[in-house]
Amino acid sequence: MALTETPMQAERARTIYEKSKEGRRAAVLPSAEVPEKPLADLIPENLLRSEPPRLPEIAEPEIVRHYNRLSRRNFDLDSGFYPLGSCTMKHNPRLNERVAALPGHARLHPAQDPRRAQGALELMWLLQESLGEICGLPHVSLQPSAGSHGELAGLLLTRAYHADRGEERTKVLAPDTSHGTNPASVTMAGYEVVKVATDEVGGVEMDDLRAKLAENAGEVACLMLTNPNTLGVFDENIAEIAALIHAEGGTLYYDGANLNAVMGHSRPGDMGFDIVHVNLHKSFSQPHGGGGPGAGPIAVSDRIEPFLPRPQVVRREGSNGRGPSFDLEFERPKSIGRLRGFQGNFGVFVRSYAYILSLGGDGLSEASETAVLNANYLKARLAEGRAGARLPIAFDRHCMHEFVLSGKPMKRDLGLATLDLAKRLLDFGFHPPTVYFPLLVEEALMVEPTETETKESLDAFAEAIEKILAEAEDDPDLARNAPYTTPVRRLDEVKATRQPVVRQPL
Amino acid sequence: MALTETPMQAERARTIYEKSKEGRRAAVLPSAEVPEKPLADLIPENLLRSEPPRLPEIAEPEIVRHYNRLSRRNFDLDSGFYPLGSCTMKHNPRLNERVAALPGHARLHPAQDPRRAQGALELMWLLQESLGEICGLPHVSLQPSAGSHGELAGLLLTRAYHADRGEERTKVLAPDTSHGTNPASVTMAGYEVVKVATDEVGGVEMDDLRAKLAENAGEVACLMLTNPNTLGVFDENIAEIAALIHAEGGTLYYDGANLNAVMGHSRPGDMGFDIVHVNLHKSFSQPHGGGGPGAGPIAVSDRIEPFLPRPQVVRREGSNGRGPSFDLEFERPKSIGRLRGFQGNFGVFVRSYAYILSLGGDGLSEASETAVLNANYLKARLAEGRAGARLPIAFDRHCMHEFVLSGKPMKRDLGLATLDLAKRLLDFGFHPPTVYFPLLVEEALMVEPTETETKESLDAFAEAIEKILAEAEDDPDLARNAPYTTPVRRLDEVKATRQPVVRQPL
Amino acid sequence: MTRYTSATPDDRREMLDAIGVSSVDELFEQVPEPLRLGRPLALPGGMAENEVYERLSALAERNADAEAQVCFVGAGMYDHYVPAIVDAITSRSEFLTPYTPYQPEISQGGLQVMFEFQTAMSELTGLPVSNAGLYEGPSSVASAGYLAMGATKRRRFVVSRGVHPHSRETLATYAVGYDAEVVEVGLEDGLTDAAALAAAVDGETAAVILQSPNFLGAVEDVAALGAAAKEHGALLVVACDPMTLGILKPPGECGADIALGEGQPLGNRLDFGGPSFGFFCATEAQIRRMPGRIAGETEDVDGRRGFVLALQTREQHIRREKATNNICTAQALNALGAMVHLAWLGRRGFRELGELLVQRTAYARERLAAVDGVELLHTSPVAREFAVRLDAPVGKVLDRVAERGIAAGYPLGREYPEFDDGLLVAITERRTKAQIDELAEALGAAVAAEREGVTA
Amino acid sequence: MTRYTSATPDDRREMLDAIGVSSVDELFEQVPEPLRLGRPLALPGGMAENEVYERLSALAERNADAEAQVCFVGAGMYDHYVPAIVDAITSRSEFLTPYTPYQPEISQGGLQVMFEFQTAMSELTGLPVSNAGLYEGPSSVASAGYLAMGATKRRRFVVSRGVHPHSRETLATYAVGYDAEVVEVGLEDGLTDAAALAAAVDGETAAVILQSPNFLGAVEDVAALGAAAKEHGALLVVACDPMTLGILKPPGECGADIALGEGQPLGNRLDFGGPSFGFFCATEAQIRRMPGRIAGETEDVDGRRGFVLALQTREQHIRREKATNNICTAQALNALGAMVHLAWLGRRGFRELGELLVQRTAYARERLAAVDGVELLHTSPVAREFAVRLDAPVGKVLDRVAERGIAAGYPLGREYPEFDDGLLVAITERRTKAQIDELAEALGAAVAAEREGVTA
Ligand SMILES: Cc1ncc(COP(=O)(O)O)c(C=O)c1O
Ligand SMILES: Cc1ncc(COP(=O)(O)O)c(C=O)c1O
């Protein structure tokens, strides 16, 4: 019997609403226990809802089946290689999930009196200290909820810092390789972006930087940089860049998405950065959850410290022979204020602190080393054979923890777009690299293997690329029509935006 | 591109040993902390091992991937319909897993002093009481580890009971429909099996029973019955059967595998049974785990009670205004002794007790009702169309929670064995029914839908059977060569027994 | 090479050879010498898994969590029971470990969940468009402000003092950045002062921001209050507690342009405040201004139904400085937890739960009001939380009640100096009648003891 | 129709129509009237999920588990740390919920795990054949006896008093059934009395049954003791603690025909005694007499490697009264936990763990022996558990030490009246030096207090 579809393809998508049947239910609730009154005696009729929301009606066994089956329509890090550049898809230890689930963490109310939440506050303080040491900047706020939130925080801190000095500045510099969140944060923080060009080795083009600083003299609030940057290149001029920005009175912001390259090897604070965000869901092993949660703590220098968000976790020395205690400090007169409710994504802090404890200082440093080793090895493998010819490295030098290839020759010679290669990789059981980013590189493929991959996985990936390029020489349509074996085949993304259907009609 | 294999088929089986590489590891152990001595100073050299066992060497991320990927090569109850007759594949509530994992249960040492394990002992006592009420027999031992263990216990109790009366009996009667564990337990308990025939409505053939009793007068220790039996038929003569056995001085043993049919409706004790085992992994929702764990508590009548295994959980009334307390009773002079270490599969008790609490008495009774409804509905559906013609019901009457079809006409008319039908069902995403059991029915298919299935699932199953029979009329090879879409196709089971390879060569 | 990494000495040698360097250090030479750390990090050495477990358990034990103390604290996050299937499903690797679904063909699980979630939130709020979730509640309010500015080209927000103080403070923080003015409107007997609100809204107002039930637990008449917004062409933004939406009129039926809120009560544990998620729904008119991910339905080349990230042209990775928001990583897993919880509750259960909360809350409110030294802070209708005044210092009373294993509520003083004697008490389905009775008893005893000057 | 069932009133009606009856009661008419219960079960009504949770939590809190008390109790089950990945993997529905793999094509996950597990146990014990697991330790000993009877056609077992008392008792229980005689051989300084053993074995002996480390923790010279079995053609059955097999000579190298034991220390939690699993390995000669499931390698019709249940002709479902054992449902999930734990430990970690246990045990033994009022019960070599004698009533001392949050060990008196003053102390990698020191201190203080007659 010939296969026309895979079993998953044959199973067409049906939402849980389509499996609903009136009268079914999973939840059984406790009885009220108390004397009940008519609802309208308690809340005026006009504020009450006439019809309950049309949530699905379905018993527990079928809910479990629905989501279990759905889950298998995802590719995940625990199934295979996931070299998604800039995303640091490293192993997510289950130990971290276990400790985050301890009732003392998971069922702790965020408004619990600090005197009755000493363990949580100490953990946060210990994480602050650890991140401060890793970043080389002494003051840490854990409040931001992700990298982009950290960026916004950093820019608001910059604004507050300048305002405190009686200055108002309007421009923020960012290289053309920067991540989309950088310019978006700039706008949200009320600044204007000024793009800085990239030089021939992948770093900041120094002349352009000087020119932009001159053009915007007195206006530049900040330079946002990723280092190593999104090309996987460590900017060797960073000390000079820092000096230039500082001379202009600006702050230097470090987008910490790539911190996984340099932990224990080089510290943003030592490079001259004033503000750093750390993506705990990248370097510090918080699972990505299919798009979060994460956390984006920020570490800052002394001069920025007074402006940190409120409340701040502080340690107070004990008196009368008592040990130290921990508290939330709300009285921070120069603070930019809150960025969110309560104290931040505490569950993420538990996981990341468990990760730091597990690896220790040496382990973190080794992790970065292996991340860099793995990236350079895979780069070397992909410099061979067909990949070397069709997918040249964008900036030919040793990389840090990731590297960027250009699919331009592949497109020109084989008629295969980077997207086609990515889709064909799906048939080989790999998650593709990040594609079409950074924008600077035509038909970009951004590859970040991370330290937790085996050499065997890297080799298999390189072989798959080679095979795809080889088969494309015979038949480029093979890739152009890929994928074939995924739960659904290539999807029409344009339609979804042109005629958006964003909920189930009921 | 034509598909030649499904993605899972393309991924050939590799064991974890084949993924091992010298020097890799997942575990990091604590340091000894204590002054260390040479091993040979502590244990004589000749008792020490020269080479460590060749366990795999592999880092944590790849262990997780290995077992996650492997897991997806299983079909499971949380993926779809699993009408495996006699196995009661009902939903496994996750609440039960949650409460079983509470540290007070999961990390409780079995030798903890009963005064410091009052919660666990009370839970066991409550479960004993509940099972006693459900079975209609007042005394319960939770010790047996599964149904077959309960059977052995029941036979050893019978032996002890007779011995106590100065009798020695050698025969145990069992109908030809009985489950394989019944005769196997009989032999292990040192008895000889005497088979009893089945009558035309699926019950015990009364004349044969009388004849066997007469033939073995004074020798019959016990009759083992399942009621409803493995044909899904409730034996209406049970009261008479009980009277006959009791008149002969034998005990009546109830194989509780089918208790799910009658909870809250009819009780083995009331039917005249002396000893019952209950499969907690069937009627009481303990997950099957791919072949265990389970538990097989036994409930017995007063006259059997003195012989129950040791230790027994007992409740002692409190004195001086204190509440009751719970204890392990070891002093049971007539006890048959232990059947295993410690107190039994406590984790299973927690799950089953949670299930009983969740449903309550009414809910259990409703569960049996729905199980019987679902079975009769599916039976009715399969009495229609092609299934009705090719797969007749073995005993045409209302069934209880399951029913047995015969594939004899299908085999004769279409050349399709029951096995072929079963394998083809796999392509339709269903777990097949139990096949070739009970032995009495030619080409048997034993179908038990359970109460937790939706009407839609039952309908889909009936339609799949219809479709398979229809396609077989055109092309019987379609089923004969099935399955096509499973992770591996039909496997050679004979080879595995003829030339057994039961471990990875290293 | 331990635990989470695999490169053996042999691997390393082969890899370095292939790269053409003799050591990993050589690869780090691109980092200028003076910027290399040159010393080990000043962090402890690594620990065994069981040691990490013991260390973190020991910390966790120093927290009085809701397992250790009966929790009547709410203020936006509630001690609801999270059904076991939520954990079972959210802990599956297939949901736990993938990135944002950039490759839809291998992310149908996550994308369909988003689509289902959007449907559920749209049903709850009565608005047609939902995103797949934002960070959490208060920052969602700030994002609504940003949207309103874009939609109206105005820079002024009128905000009720009934809006969660964290939301107001977050809005203020963001407003300094995107340069908007925030005007606050006070409360009368627990409800937004309607006259003051009407007076505060003007032709420069981008949005009127309300919360219902508001921070003091009172159910606002959103439709009536919102009229002022409509009149002046401002957007009406309503923050709400999702657990009340089974019984309260949905914001969409009250004229809201945007309904949002803290999602924690749905399928997310307390976690000392996070991670949870914010939900964000709006009218069709705002669909291209929405922040965050939105899943949309589409087809594959063979015509199979499928889901993708829709309307990506709003987002930072495509639109950069012109994006409608800067959010990237959000809270997908938390939204999944909510979706499973909602499916578990189902249409009936969700409504019943709302009713249960209202009934038990009414009982608790009455019960507490009858206690000597405790009186109601306001008499407006409430759903699942209410405020009282204590005739004794709130902090001291809380300490006394804590001794009895009860976290009695949220003290209002810090954020509402005018209610320095105020305490906010929250009810969930976990809070039994017996616990409520015990709270009443304990509060009464504590207030009495404080009044009498008994040493705690 | 609630919670776990789906039949709505509409469904019911349609289904009853299709069946051709008017009510479900009609279906139950096959149960003769007098046998119908005719009343509701005398059990409480159903409870909400959160209520069940609270109820069982409350029970759980009345147990002094190893999280609440530092646990030095062993006696066959040990407070090892179960790595988090074990739970993550065993809780996957795909492993948790299937039945025994009767349909191999859709059970390759479980079957391959069995095959890997068999390989691991074979490596540990040094015997070529392993099954996929039995119920637990002691009943595995009884099953070995049954096998030995079948293999030798003899009915006599010679058993060391060093074998776990539960195993000896279980063997005795079974032996009454399959009619065998059990002869016990005593101990000398903690070890099996070799001369008495040699004297007890005769030509009617089916098996000699030893345990090493034995119940008192002493490492037996299995090879030397086993010689008597070989001489008389009896099988040598050795029970062992799997956690010691990284350092101790495997039974297979000591002449054992069967090696078995309690599997709990491998990847299984304490669970108040179960579920865990028993492992059971043997020589090739016994392969067709093995109890329990065995997975074997084979191929599919296209030549793909695959796994099936092999040698099913031994089993009850095929062979019925002639089966080698009656076991059916066993402990597959628990064996999976063991396999994951072993893979996590790996070749090196497994040995290191064995060494760690020996070192800490040696320290603890020395430390305790130095305490006034505590002396060693025997001086033979030990691996991870040892026995001491207390100069005060053991039960009372244990109560006092329990007050300090320590479960000091297993009292020997019930099962070894000759060691009424004996206490068995077990060590795992969770028991730190500091805890051992505290145990020593607490034991010393408790014995002293008892001697002085201080009231506890
Ligand atoms: C370079 C870079 N900067 C910033 C971000 C934004 O971080 P987050 O997704 O945590 O908001 C990312 C995430 O993809 C990134 O790769
Ligand atoms: C009718 C019947 N009896 C006995 C058993 C044996 O029970 P267990 O597998 O729990 O040993 C089974 C299990 O399949 C069964 O179906």
Phi, psi (deg, nearest 5) at residue C80 = -80, 160
CB contact under 8 Å between D115 and B30, yes or no, is no
- Is D216 within 8 Å of D152 (Cβ atoms)? no
pLDDT at A320: 84
- Is D376 within 8 Å of D40 (Cβ atoms)? no
Helices (H) and strands (E) in chain B, counts: 18, 12
Tokens of D385: 């558990």
Helices (H) and strands (E) in chain D, counts: 14, 17
Interface of B with C (CB under 8 A): 21-30, 58-62, 64, 68, 93-98
Please tell me which chains touch D, using 3 or more CB pairs under 8 Å as the contact test.
Answer: A, B, C
Q: Where in B55-176 does DSSP place strands (E)?
A: 139-141, 171-175
Q: Which of B115, A328, A109 is nearest to C68 (CA)?
A: A109
- Is D383 within 8 Å of D218 (Cβ atoms)? no
Q: Is B294 in the pocket of ligand 2 (CB under 6 A)?
A: yes
C8 touching chain D per CB within 8 A: no
pLDDT digits (tens, 9 = 90+) for B369-385: 999 999 999 999 999 99
* Euclidean distance between CA atoms B273 and B139, whole angstroms: 13
pLDDT at D1: 47
Of C48, C54, C430, the CB nearest to D50: C430
Pick the residue from chain A with its C-alpha nearest to D3.
A26
- Is A173 within 8 Å of A196 (Cβ atoms)? yes
User: Is the pLDDT confidence value at B180 over 70?
Assistant: yes
Cα angle A37, A41, A44; round to 5: 140
Q: Which of C200, C219, C211, C220 is nearest to C238 (CA)?
A: C211
Of C8, C46, C49, the CB nearest to B22: C8
Please tell me which chains touch A, using 3 or more CB pairs under 8 Å as the contact test.
Answer: B, C, D
Q: Is B86 in the pocket of ligand 2 (CB under 6 A)?
A: yes
Residues 6+ apart with CB under 8 A from C383: A43, C213, C217, C219, C241, C244, C247, C248, C354, C357, C358, C361
Q: Looking at ligand 1, which residue's alpha carbon is closest to its atom 15?
A: A257
| Distance, C-alpha B324 to centroid of its chain | 34
Q: Is B279 in the pocket of ligand 2 (CB under 6 A)?
A: yes
Tokens of D440: 């020593």
Q: For the residues B273-301, what does the mean pLDDT come to?
A: 98
Pick the residue from chain A with its C-alpha nearest to D47.
A30
Measured between beta carbons, the chain A residues lying within 8 angstroms of D84 are 93-98
> What radius of gyration, in Å, describes the C-alpha atoms of chain C?
25
* Euclidean distance between CA atoms B462 and D125, whole angstroms: 49
CB contact under 8 Å between A21 and D8, yes or no, is yes
Residues 6+ apart with CB under 8 A from C177: A152, A155, A156, A159, A188, A189, A190
Residues 6+ apart with CB under 8 A from A70: C108, C109, C112, C113
* Euclidean distance between CA atoms B129 and B133, whole angstroms: 6
* Euclidean distance between CA atoms B341 and B324, whole angstroms: 26
B71 touching chain A per CB within 8 A: no
pLDDT at A186: 98
Q: Is B257 in the pocket of ligand 2 (CB under 6 A)?
A: yes
pLDDT digits (tens, 9 = 90+) for A76-104: 999 999 999 999 999 999 999 999 999 99
A198 has which bridge partners?
Answer: A204
Provide the H-helix boundaries in D61-103: 84-90, 93-96
pLDDT at C454: 77
Pairing of strands B171-175, B220-225: parallel
Q: Which of C385, C394, C387 is nearest to C447 (CA)?
A: C394
* Euclidean distance between CA atoms D257 and D285, whole angstroms: 9
**What do you get for the CA distance between the two ends of chain B, in Å?**
39
pLDDT band per the 50, 70, 90 thresholds, residue B165: very high
- Is A154 within 8 Å of A123 (Cβ atoms)? no
Ligand 1 — pocket residues by CB below 6 A? A 86-87, 146-148, 179, 181, 226, 230, 255, 257, 279, 294, 296; C 328-329
Q: Which of B396, B400, B370, B313 is nearest to B85 (CA)?
A: B400
CB half-sphere exposure, D406, CA atoms < 13 A? 24
Q: What is the pLDDT along chain D (456 residues), one digit of tens a residue?
A: 479 999 999 999 999 999 999 999 999 999 999 999 999 999 999 999 999 999 999 999 999 999 999 999 999 999 999 999 999 999 999 999 999 999 999 999 999 999 999 999 999 999 999 999 999 999 999 999 999 999 999 999 999 999 999 999 999 999 999 999 999 999 999 999 999 999 999 999 999 999 999 999 999 999 999 999 999 999 999 999 999 999 999 999 999 999 999 999 999 999 999 999 999 999 999 999 999 999 999 999 999 999 999 999 898 988 999 999 999 999 999 999 999 999 999 999 999 999 999 999 999 999 999 999 999 999 999 999 999 999 999 999 999 999 999 999 999 999 999 999 999 999 999 999 999 999 999 999 999 999 998 776
pLDDT at C1: 47
What is the DSSP code string of D209-240?
EEEES-TTSBPP-HHHHHHHHHHTTPEEEEEE
Write the DSSP symbol of residue B198: B
Q: Which of D222, D165, D214 is nearest to D197 (CA)?
A: D222
3-state secondary structure of D279: strand
Pairing of strands A312-316, A298-300: unpaired
pLDDT at D432: 98
Q: Which of C252, C276, C253, C281 is nearest to C266 (CA)?
A: C276
ipTM at complex level: 0.98
Verify cis geometry, omega within 30 degrees of 0, for the bond prior to D9.
no
Of D6, D11, D84, the CB nearest to A62: D6
Residues 6+ apart with CB under 8 A from C452: none
Pick the residue from chain A with its C-alpha nearest to B28.
A358
Closest-lying ligand to the alpha carbon of B446? 2
Least Cα separation, residue D201 to chain B (angstroms): 23
Closest-lying ligand to the alpha carbon of B228? 2
Q: For the residues B341-368, what does the mean pLDDT come to?
A: 98
Give the best residue of A87, A334, A342 to mutate against chain C (max C CB count within 10 A).
A342
Q: Which of C373, C350, C374, C354 is nearest to C362 (CA)?
A: C354
Q: What is the pLDDT along chain C (456 residues), one digit of tens a residue?
A: 479 999 999 999 999 999 999 999 999 999 999 999 999 999 999 999 999 999 999 999 999 999 999 999 999 999 999 999 999 999 999 999 999 999 999 999 999 999 999 999 999 999 999 999 999 999 999 999 999 999 999 999 999 999 999 999 999 999 999 999 999 999 999 999 999 999 999 999 999 999 999 999 999 999 999 999 999 999 999 999 999 999 999 999 999 999 999 999 999 999 999 999 999 999 999 999 999 999 999 999 999 999 999 999 898 988 999 999 999 999 999 999 999 999 999 999 999 999 999 999 999 999 999 999 999 999 999 999 999 999 999 999 999 999 999 999 999 999 999 999 999 999 999 999 999 999 999 999 999 999 998 776
CA of C308 to the centre of ligand 1 (A): 20
pLDDT at C456: 60
Q: Which of B3, B27, B91, B141 is nearest to B451 (CA)?
A: B91
- For tokens 């925030």, the residue is C182
Provide the H-helix boundaries in C104-136: 108-125
Q: Which of B84, B155, B181, B285 to mutate to test the pocket of ligand 2 (most atoms within 8 A of CB)?
A: B181
Least Cα separation, residue C445 to chain D (angstroms): 26
Which atom of ligand 2 is nearest the CA belonging to B279?
Answer: 10
CB contact under 8 Å between C49 and B25, yes or no, is no
Tokens of D213: 């480390």
User: Is the pLDDT confidence value at A228 over 60?
Assistant: yes
* Euclidean distance between CA atoms B47 and C101, whole angstroms: 56
Integer angstrom CA distances of residue D371 from D367, D436, D439, D448: 7, 12, 10, 10
CB contact under 8 Å between D15 and B377, yes or no, is yes
D261 has which bridge partners?
Answer: D279
How deeply is D456 buried, as exposed, middle or buried, from its count of CB atoms within 10 A (0-12, 13-18, 19+)? Answer: exposed
Residues 6+ apart with CB under 8 A from B367: B90, B260, B263, B359, B451, D4, D5
Measured between beta carbons, the chain A residues lying within 8 angstroms of B5 are 3
* Euclidean distance between CA atoms D73 and D79, whole angstroms: 8
How deeply is A476 buried, as exposed, middle or buried, from its count of CB atoms within 10 A (0-12, 13-18, 19+)? Answer: middle
Q: Which of C141, C317, C276 is nearest to A185 (CA)?
A: C317
Write the DSSP symbol of residue A2: -
Integer angstrom CA distances of residue D299 from B491, B495, D306: 6, 8, 5
